[in-house]
Structure 1
Amino acid sequence: MMEFRHFRCFAEVATQLHFTRAAEELGISTPAISKQIREMETLLNVRLFNRTKRSVTLTSAGQLFLVEVQLAMAQFDRAEETARRAGRGEIGRIELGYVASAAFSGLFQQQLSRYREAYPAVQVNSREISMRAMPEMLEAGALDLAFVRPPINFPPGIDAMAVLRENYVVAVPTNSRFADLTAIRAADLATSNFIVPEQVEGTLAVGRRGKFTPRISAAPGGLVAVIAAVSISQDVAIVPYSAVDHIRIPGVTYRPLAGKPIETEIALTYRRHERAPAVRAFIEQVKLLSKDVVGPAANSINSRKTQR
């Protein structure tokens, strides 16, 4: 059976047209390289070289064979380099899911931009996905990574790493009594109806602080839909601070909560024993770049322009 070592010996002799020099280049003995060539000619049942005491030349069959051998060796080199690059995480594919608020905060874009700059050959497919679907998709391998807003129940083997922290604020109708307040106490919202996003923990936390059970009037899903619903109702919504700058809908005003801020996080979730180098490289990058971003205090949020 012909092996890659045969190709290397043949290509070197064909380049040098001298058995001794070819052997020196390969670091083997002249008899050894002569043996490799004889084995090839026997296996192929064709003469590859014309040999005399003074010269070595390729036969016509040898010339044609050399072209194919060079192509095969180049392909081997590419395969070898591809394996090395994949092992270093420089090439591959990542399936990335995210909740919309990760994009509103700028976190998603920042992390993806840096990763693509560092690993331009890795294909990253990103898409907004319902948080309810992400645990199963991560476990099944349909997703490799997901930016979510905890708390969320994940199966064993899935880890989460907090990468950004911000305050909750209240989205209120511009024509409501709450719009004229500098800050809204949780207890003041006891008689309000709440429109909730996928992550209801902020609404529940406000209820606990105000010692009431929130009355939920609608749960339209994404933040844009939630704030749009506030704009056409007299209901309120507890939303992340990143909505203040990125979701500007007429008829909605944002106000901070009075007292100690109620915080929310964006976390990167991933399989605990992830083996794919490209995915592991993304996780390590996020660990290095993660930071806390907390929304401003009551006096500074009110200094910003709000939709009225």
Structure 2
Amino acid sequence: MELRHLRAFLAVSETLHFARAAEALGISPPSLTEQVQELERQLGARLFLRSKRSVALSDAGKLFLEELRPAMERLEGALQTARLAGRGERGIIEIGFAASAAFAGLLTQTISAWRRAHPEVELNLHEMESAPQIEALDDRRLDIAFIRMPVSLPPGIVTARLHREPLLIALPTTHPLAAGESVAAADLAEEAFIIPDQAGGTSFHQLTRAVAERGGFAPRLAHRGRDLIAVTALVALGMGVAVVPESLRGTVTLPGVAYRPLRGAPILAELAVAWRRNEGAPATRALIRQIREAAAE
């Protein structure tokens, strides 16, 4: 029994006219008659009562139609879902993001544009540090990751740069260095640095070391906050200073915190998108393509 047999039966049952049903299906009346007869042979029951003047459903046909119609509706729905998924218009995408991606506005722009264009694709968002995002990508718990570079990449994970921005130094407003318009890296040698938690090997740990390297000293990592907002709150409390991305200045304004640029050539923080090189899901591939095209504009 094939799907064409069932569709032939439904077409005749709706029109009760073989010629009109054949026209609706785009096949010849003899071909339609053959398909209905084959279905009847397979079922071992007559589905239609035919005469030269009329066609009517038999009792078996009425019962078959009652069961078949909702089943075919579900089947047609499943087929349409598969077609949409194959074109990247349906599906589920698991997205990880570093909080600082939201500060830079990239996440909001990307997700908003995608939802407008693909309302049938479900997006699940997970706020995570960059290194755990890469691990989740590698074991397929995530499909796309918005990360802060640098971060180590296993084989099969690729990235594309989305945004670069200068690093700033977050200082307590009472700190003497806050009185200047900029801060020399060497002037931070005696300071206690506050970094996001889980900092070992992560991007802000390395960016803090880059600032210290310019100043010719090893940074003293005194405190950790859960994220950049917590780090900034600790700065406001006078617990130390912090290396932060420029976008934080426009999104996190706390009493007691001053943001100052580094003197000299800027040290840049990089936001990137990461995904699996062999990604096969059409919806995920389409979103990656949109993200990269938007970043290139």
State TM-score, norm by structure 2.
Answer: 0.91
Unaligned 5+ segments in structure 2 are none
Match of 1:257 among 249, 258, 262: 262
Is the contact made by 2:161 and 2:270 (CA closer than 8 Å) also made in structure 1?
yes
Matched, 1:164 2:169: no
Is the contact made by 2:131 and 2:152 (CA closer than 8 Å) also made in structure 1?
no
1:239 alignment partner AA: V
Match of 1:236 among 234, 238, 241: 241
Is the contact made by 2:48 and 2:56 (CA closer than 8 Å) also made in structure 1?
yes
Is the contact made by 2:172 and 2:238 (CA closer than 8 Å) also made in structure 1?
yes
Cα drift, residue 280 of structure 1: 0.9
SS in 2 for 1:5: helix
* Cα separation, 2, equivalents of 1:32 and 1:213: 84
* Cα separation, 1, equivalents of 2:5 and 2:75: 14
Matched, 1:214 2:196: no
Deviates more, 1:58-67 or 1:187-196: 58-67
Q: How do residues 28-107 of structure 1 correspond to structure 2 at under 5 angstroms?
A: 28-107=27-106
* Cα separation, 2, equivalents of 1:40 and 1:151: 64
SS in 2 for 1:6: helix
SS in 1 for 2:249: helix
1:216 alignment partner AA: L
* Cα separation, 2, equivalents of 1:20 and 1:246: 68
Q: How do residues 278-297 of structure 1 correspond to structure 2 at under 5 angstroms?
A: 278-290=283-295
* Cα separation, 2, equivalents of 1:59 and 1:46: 9
Cα drift, residue 202 of structure 1: 2.2
The C-alpha deviation readout for 1:45-71, integer Å capped at 9, x for no partner, is 322222223322222322332333333
Matched, 1:122 2:121: yes
Deviates more, 1:47-56 or 1:147-156: 47-56
2:221 alignment partner AA: I
2:34 alignment partner AA: K
Unaligned 5+ segments in structure 1 are 293-308
Is the contact made by 1:176 and 1:234 (CA closer than 8 Å) also made in structure 2?
no
* Cα separation, 2, equivalents of 1:206 and 1:288: 32
* Cα separation, 2, equivalents of 1:20 and 1:249: 77
* Cα separation, 2, equivalents of 1:236 and 1:32: 81
1:142 alignment partner AA: R
State TM-score, norm by structure 1.
Answer: 0.88
Deviates more, 1:140-149 or 1:52-61: 52-61
Deviates more, 1:170-179 or 1:209-218: 209-218
The C-alpha deviation readout for 1:5-43, integer Å capped at 9, x for no partner, is 211222233234333444454444444433332232233
Is the contact made by 2:194 and 2:240 (CA closer than 8 Å) also made in structure 1?
yes
* Cα separation, 2, equivalents of 1:251 and 1:81: 57
2:75 alignment partner AA: F
Cα drift, residue 291 of structure 1: 5.7
2:70 alignment partner AA: L
Q: Percent identity over the alignment?
A: 46
Is the contact made by 1:164 and 1:291 (CA closer than 8 Å) also made in structure 2?
no
Q: How do residues 2-13 of structure 1 correspond to structure 2 at under 5 angstroms?
A: 2-13=1-12
State the partner residue of 2:252. Answer: 247
The C-alpha deviation readout for 1:64-103, integer Å capped at 9, x for no partner, is 3233333333333222211110011111111111111111
* Cα separation, 2, equivalents of 1:50 and 1:277: 47
Change (3 A) 1:27 1:279: closer
Is the contact made by 1:159 and 1:270 (CA closer than 8 Å) also made in structure 2?
yes
The C-alpha deviation readout for 1:138-157, integer Å capped at 9, x for no partner, is 11111111111100012111
Cα drift, residue 132 of structure 1: 3.1
* Cα separation, 1, equivalents of 2:12 and 2:127: 58
1:163 alignment partner AA: L
